[in-house]
Structure formats: C-alpha cells, structure tokens
Amino acid sequence: MIKNKVYLSIGSNIGDKESNIASSIAILGSYVEISKIKSSSFYKTEPLYNENQPSFLNIVLQLETTFTAFQLLDKIREIEKMLGRDEKREKNQPRTIDIDIVIFKDSYIDTPELQIPHPGAMLRKFVLTPLAELVPDEIFPKTNIKIVDLLKKCPDTSVVQKYIINKKA
C-alpha cells in the first residue's frame, strides 16, 4: 500500500474551539488508513472575507494515509458533520470545524468537488504559518517555492498569533 503524505488545514470558530480541533484529530487518528500524525502549534487567527464573526483557532496536520484524495475528502466531510458543521451554511460563515486538504503528496487535482493543492492556501497566513512551522523548506506543489518563502511573500495582512492552550487541572 502506498502511503501518501498529506497536509490538512483545520480551523474552528464556534463553541469549544480547542475541543473541536482535538476531536477532529482524534477521529482522523482512529482510521487505520491514517498514520504518523504530526500537528503544528495552535494559532489564533482573524477571520478573512467575512470579518463579522469570532476569531478562529487553526492548525495544520501532517499525516500519511493509504486513502485516495477523494476517499480522504469523504472521511473529512463525515468528521465535519459529526462535529456539528452545518452542510447548508453559506461560504465564510462561522463553523464548528473546517478541514481542508492543502497538499496531497505531489497530486494536482482540479475538479468541482476537490482542488489540490488547495487554491487559497498560498494566499492565507493561517495556512502558511503553521505549515511553515512543520515543513519550512518543503516546496509547495506546482510552485517551485519553499513554504517559508511563500509565507514571506503572502499578501494576507491578517494577524496570526501562536495560541497557548490552557490546560485545565
């Protein structure tokens, strides 16, 4: 079985954001087809596009999977539904969980259902900052540019701050 290296962007801005993200990681980790999960730090980020909503918590996960990109997309949609994401909500509205496939090995997919690499990733500091934390010197697919250099050139001016999780005693 071929293991595909994948990077996911995960965000939440409704409810217990830390718990929503932790639950999504736990569910992903429960699949035998997914292994070697590594997480970036948590980042508190300003909402883009629709700014009249709560701030987000965001991370990037690195993992390996034997799923195809479309199988992984189906699992992600199931997880989002399990964690209370409204399937009928409008774009850029508040959400309990949002999971995007940013990079799926060296794949290039452009269908109405799935675009890889994620078309907005290079324009979003909330994706590039945690991605650069995990793999600064990786080349972003189809660009020949290191992730750390994409971050430096990113036109996004929103604030992305490392977030310290409050451990409850």
Cα 158 to chain centroid, rounded: 17
How many separate helices (H) and strands (E) can be counted in the chain?
Answer: 4, 10
CATH of domain 4-163: 3.30.70.560
DSSP state of 94: -
Indicate if the alpha-carbon torsion angle 90, 92, 98, 103 is positive or negative.
Answer: positive
pLDDT, tens digit, for every residue of 129-151?
999 999 999 999 989 999 999 99
CA distance 9 to 50: 19
What's the predicted TM-score (pTM) here?
Answer: 0.93
Q: What pLDDT, on the 0 to 100 scale, is given for residue 92?
A: 65
* pLDDT exceeds 60 at position 169: no
**How far is residue 33 from each of residues 5, 48, 95, 112, measured CA to CA in Å?**
12, 33, 27, 25
- Domain map of the chain by residue range? 4-163
Residues annotated catalytic, as ranges: 85, 95, 98, 100
Question: Does residue 93 have a pLDDT over 90?
Answer: no
Which pLDDT score, from 0 to 100, does residue 27 have? 97
- The fraction of the chain above a pLDDT of 70, given in percent, is 93
16: Cβ contacts below 8 Å, ≥ 6 apart: none
Percent of the chain with pLDDT over 90: 76
Per-residue pLDDT, 51:
73
- Reported as a single tens digit per residue, the pLDDT across 64-78 is 999 999 999 999 999
For residue 111, give the amino acid letter: T
Q: Using the 8-state DSSP alphabet, how is residue 52 labeled?
A: S
Q: Tens digits of per-residue pLDDT, 112-123?
A: 999 999 989 999
Using the predicted structure, report yes or no on whether residue 86 has a pLDDT greater than 80: no
Does residue 166 surpass a pLDDT of 60? yes
Q: Decide: 120 and 95 in contact? Cβ < 8 Å.
A: no
Q: Report the pLDDT value the prediction gives residue 91, as an integer from 0 to 100.
A: 67
pLDDT confidence of residue 89: 60
How far is 33 from 69, CA to CA, in rounded Å?
12
Pairing of strands 42-45, 56-65: antiparallel
Question: Both tokens of residue 70?
Answer: 């479309």
Rounded Cα distance, 82 and 131, in Å: 26
